[in-house]
């Protein structure tokens, strides 16, 4: 008998006792509903495994303990709401089947974790069971009473549009390149060139924060001077999202100091810094500027086929709940590796109605060039922040021309003109298409 089977046999009586009920049997306003995919050997009874997971993540352990009374269980135990096999076998298990795949839903009482934030939410829904082979958290559905503690974005899509005075077209972002190793003077020069060319947002790369060769204080002063100069020349506003990611409590001090020195936006690597770190800054009433959430480290969360949690939680629901006004997401057009279906879901999760929480602006990114604008807008719509690094800085005529080429492509699509056609009369766009065309970029920029 396999070790897992011995464990289930040893506590079978325990596992037979918890309430295993359907969605119709609970008050949905009192539970967070977690959905999982589970892949197990064909001889495993996933009904038992699901109940074991529910107990393990709420009131109990592998065997019944005296203090886990019926009263405790009634109020605090997680409940299995559904176990569905894919395909749903009814009569026999075919001989060629070695593993079986399931979709499982478990309800977690919000009373167990209400007010404790994302750390205890993750501990409850994908804590110890995260080491279970073949189990992945697919989605979370939240009741209003739980979600009301999260304020979400201060600006969101509408707020960013109002701030930048751009009512309709997609916004354009540039990432400063090189990613790191440059001085504050170089950063200021590159930001100016991208901004004056038409970028609405220019961001630090995620790989630079407060190094000795380019400190936050030096960078914010010099870059904001460059932004002011660019804005006065182009007659448009530019946001510069300076990356304040760091250790605690310095990161929170950075936020205050950057605002004091004139920052008009902030950037946080929210997965390495922590969801609640970004949330604390976003919900601070003294922080009155937009926040860009960067997705680096995301693959460690959702990269496993049968482990971790999905990208629409990692890149969508959690950063939106924790206050990101815009979030970088991988796009399937460029160097990023993401399925079209996942990309579509992530766009939806960031923008769809989510109780009181404002929509977050998606920022498709990862090797996007001017020739991809048509496809990007067709598939993602206008409520996006188009992200480009190398596609702007590596333009044959420099970053200002690279930014102009993007704006030309956006203008063409907004007016129903084919980008290739528009490029014939617009030099910057024509040269960009001449270098990169309209297809997918290489894996490395």
Domain residue limits, the chain: 3-147, 156-436
> pTM for the complete prediction?
0.93
Please confirm, yes or no, whether 348 is among the known catalytic residues. Answer: no
Contact indicator for 420, 438 with CB cutoff of 8 Å: yes
CA distance 339 to 194: 30
Question: Which entry of 136, 177, 395, 431 is annotated as an active-site residue?
Answer: 177
283 phi and psi angles, rounded to 5 deg: -90, -5
User: Residue 5 — very low, low, confident or very high, per pLDDT cuts 50/70/90?
Assistant: low
Residue 21 has pLDDT above 70, yes or no: no
Question: Which entry of 136, 193, 294, 431 is annotated as an active-site residue?
Answer: 294
Residue 146 has pLDDT above 70, yes or no: yes
pLDDT higher at 70 or 164: 164
Please confirm, yes or no, whether 42 is among the known catalytic residues. Answer: no
Mean pLDDT value of segment 12-36: 76
Spell out the long-range contacts of 16-21 with Cβ–Cβ below 8 A and sequence spacing 24 or more: 17/64, 18/51, 18/54, 18/55, 18/73, 18/77, 18/79, 18/80, 19/77, 19/79, 20/47, 20/50, 20/51, 20/79, 20/80, 21/79, 21/80, 21/81
Task: Out of 3.60.140.10, 3.10.20.90, 3.30.70.150, 3.40.50.1980, select the CATH number for domain 3-147.
Answer: 3.30.70.150
Task: Out of 3.40.50.300, 3.20.20.110, 2.60.200.30, 3.40.50.1260, select the CATH number for domain 156-436.
Answer: 3.20.20.110
pLDDT tens digits for range 96-143: 999 999 999 999 999 999 999 999 999 999 999 999 889 999 999 999
Query: Residue 223 carries which DSSP code?
Result: H
């Amino acid at each position: 008998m396999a070790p897992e089977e011995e464990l289930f046999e040893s506590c079978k009586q325990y596992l037979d006792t918890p309430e295993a009920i359907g969605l119709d049997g609970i008050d949905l306003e009192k539970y967070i509903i977690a959905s999982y995919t589970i892949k197990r050997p064909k001889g495993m009874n996933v009904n038992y495994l699901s109940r074991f997971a529910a107990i393990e993540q709420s009131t109990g352990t592998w065997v019944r303990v005296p203090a886990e009374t019926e009263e405790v269980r009634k109020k605090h135990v997680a409940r299995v709401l559904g176990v569905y096999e894919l395909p749903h076998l009814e009569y026999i298990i075919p001989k060629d089947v070695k593993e079986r795949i399931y979709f499982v839903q478990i309800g977690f009482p919000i009373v167990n974790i209400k007010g404790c934030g994302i750390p205890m939410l993750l501990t409850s829904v994908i804590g110890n069971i995260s080491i279970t082979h073949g189990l992945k958290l697919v989605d979370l559905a939240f009741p209003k009473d739980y979600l009301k503690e999260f304020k979400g974005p201060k600006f969101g899509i509408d707020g960013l549009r109002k701030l930048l005075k751009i009512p309709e077209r997609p916004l354009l972002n540039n990432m400063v390149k090189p990613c790191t190793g440059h001085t504050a003077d170089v950063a200021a020069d590159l930001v100016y060139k991208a901004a004056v060319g038409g970028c609405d947002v220019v961001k630090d790369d995620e790989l630079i924060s407060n190094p000795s060769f380019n400190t936050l204080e030096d960078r914010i002063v010099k870059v904001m001077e460059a932004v002011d100069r660019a804005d006065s020349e182009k007659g448009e506003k530019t946001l510069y999202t300076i990356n304040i990611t760091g250790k605690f409590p310095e990161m929170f001090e950075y936020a205050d100091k950057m605002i004091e020195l004139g920052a008009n936006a902030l950037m946080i690597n929210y997965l390495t810094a922590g969801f609640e770190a970004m949330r604390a800054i976003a919900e601070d009433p003294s922080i009155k500027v937009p926040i860009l959430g960067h997705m680096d480290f995301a693959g460690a969360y959702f990269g496993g086929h049968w482990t971790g949690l999905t990208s629409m939680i990692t890149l969508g629901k959690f950063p939106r709940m924790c206050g990101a006004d815009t979030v970088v997401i991988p796009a399937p057009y460029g160097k990023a590796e993401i399925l079209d279906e996942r990309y579509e879901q992530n766009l939806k999760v960031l923008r769809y109605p989510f109780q009181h929480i404002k929509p977050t602006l998606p920022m498709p990114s990862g090797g996007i060039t001017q020739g991809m604008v048509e496809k990007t807008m067709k598939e993602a719509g206008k409520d996006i922040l188009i992200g480009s690094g190398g596609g702007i800085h590596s333009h044959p005529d420099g970053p200002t021309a690279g930014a102009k080429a993007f704006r030309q492509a956006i203008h063409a699509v907004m007016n129903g003109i084919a980008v290739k056609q528009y490029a014939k009369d617009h030099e910057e766009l024509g040269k960009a298409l001449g270098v990169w065309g309209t297809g997918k970029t290489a894996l490395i920029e």
